[in-house]
Structure 1
């Protein structure tokens, strides 16, 4: 990916796509430096890495009146944790994605008379920030059980983990429709896939995030799979996936 202009940055809150109501998204991360300077540091300050943190700050045009809109979504998540995914360019399968489990810490609305009503908010990480890929795009409705496109993420060494975020953006149907998503690993053909992560069955818009146990995984390919139940079900959802 070369240099580019920010034109279609995507922002997914737990159960809402805030891309169409956002005109600024900033993602920052840092590692705290801890001073360990001593008499053998040869006259130079010596530091080691301490705690890591990440922050997502966004702003845009205020809208309300539906759970998918920014005011409703912000109030329902304020003070709570959930998955947040940011894509610098687009949210097609394989697109670069940064995601974390974050605490929605603040929300601001309002401006001077005559201005377009704005909003601004901040999310602070409760889990590591993961640099991964989109495993399922948000604009594709699913009405039956199926599997997504395989991504070649590579093996997982001991001590690192598989992370995945699920954003259920809409749910429709009768008879309490539900979707249960999982993350599978395998070879390129997925002849004998192994389930690595499983999300709780979802019946409405919302978000979930999951991670592995730190054990080594020799498989190199990963995909999202889902089981859909109910009468005339239809779900819109996005999934981000990565190793850290």
Structure 2
């Protein structure tokens, strides 16, 4: 991929698709540099990596009145002191496309500005998992009304100490008689093996799960079960290894 002008991207935070209400998003990850200088350092400062941290900053045009709007989603995450998955990916958000994601604790939310201006918002979150450079595992625009499985992705095996992380954003839920969506992550060498399952979703929201290594399988995919009367779910998921 060559140089780009940042014009179009998809931004998901929990149950909210912030794409049409955002004009700014920044992800950062860093390690503390711990001083380990000693007499054997030959006069040069010696440092080792300490605790890692991830931060997320987003901003744009304020909207409210629905769980998928920024005000509702940001306030619920902030007041509930809960963790919210964030996923940033290209505009098409197709399976296999590059995705950056993490699980974050919302630490601040600001909105409002000058008279006559489009009402702005800004939110910040501190990562509670690694910043993952992964891929989209399920696109947001395909409604799921019955059980199925997603695109198989060749992500590679997990070595000892590695984990496969999966972020799930349930964007909308429709149907009667308690519609429910249960998403699992599977690996496949010759036949699919279930590795982890998200809590069943009956309302919009976000979750992150991880699968510990070692696992020698290279191919990974999502599968889902759907229940209820006339159920329909829109969700997006991203997956990566750290």
Scaled to the shorter chain, the TM-score interval is over 0.9
SS at structure 1 position matched to 2:72:
helix
Q: How big is the shift at 1:141?
A: 0.6
Matched, 1:179 2:178: no
Do structure 1's residue 134 and structure 2's residue 136 form an aligned pair? Answer: yes
Q: TM-score, normalised by structure 2?
A: 0.97
In the alignment, is the contact (CA less than 8 A) between 1:144 and 1:227 conserved in 2? yes
Q: Deviations over 1:27-57 (max 9, x none)?
A: 1111110000000000000000001111110
Q: Are positions 1:71 and 2:71 aligned together?
A: yes
| Aligned-partner Cα distance in 2 for 1:57–1:183 | 29
1:6 and 1:89 in contact (8 A); partners too? no
Q: Which residue of 2 aligns with 1:37?
A: 37
Q: 1:165 aligns with which of 163, 167, 170?
A: 167
What residue number does 2:234 align with? Answer: 236
How far is 1:192 from its partner?
1.3
Work out the CA distance in 1 between the residues paired with 2:57 and 2:92: 18
Consecutive aligned runs of 4 or more in structure 1 exceeding 3 Å deviation: none
For residues 60 and 22 of structure 1, the distance between their equivalents in structure 2, rounded to whole angstroms, comes to 4
Mapping 1:171-210, distance limit 5 Å: 171-187=173-189, 191-210=190-209
SS in 1 for 2:39: coil
Is 1:111 equivalent to 2:109 in the alignment? no
Counterpart CA distance in 2 for 1:89 and 1:57 is 19
Deviation at 1:82, TM superposition (A): 2.2
Per the alignment, residue 155 of structure 2 pairs with 153
Give runs of aligned pairs for residues 51-70 of structure 1, distance below 5 A: 51-70=51-70
How far apart in 1 are the matches of 2:90 and 2:234? 21
Helix, strand or coil for the counterpart of 1:202?
coil
Provide, for residues 195-240 of structure 1, a one-character-per-residue CA deviation record: whole Å limited to 9, x for no partner: 1111011111001100123x31111110010000011000000010
Q: Deviations over 1:66-106 (max 9, x none)?
A: 11111011111113212111125541111111111110000
Equivalent-residue separation in structure 2 for 1:173 and 1:37 (angstroms): 63
Aligned partner of residue 86 in structure 1, secondary structure: strand
Give, in whole Å, the separation in 2 of the partners of 1:7 and 1:227.
36
| Structure-2 separation of matches of 1:241 and 1:179 | 18
The 1:39–1:88 alpha-carbon spacing in structure 2 relative to 1, beyond 3 Å, is farther
Alignment RMSD: 1.0
Q: Structure 1: which 5+ runs fail to align?
A: none
Distance (Å, rounded) in 1 between the aligned partners of 2:201 and 2:76: 17
Residues 6-29 of structure 1 show CA distances to partners (whole Å, capped at 9, x for unaligned) of 122111111111111100111111
Gaps of 5+ in 2: none
Q: Distance in 2 between matches of 1:48 and 1:229?
A: 51
Change (3 A) 1:54 1:88: farther
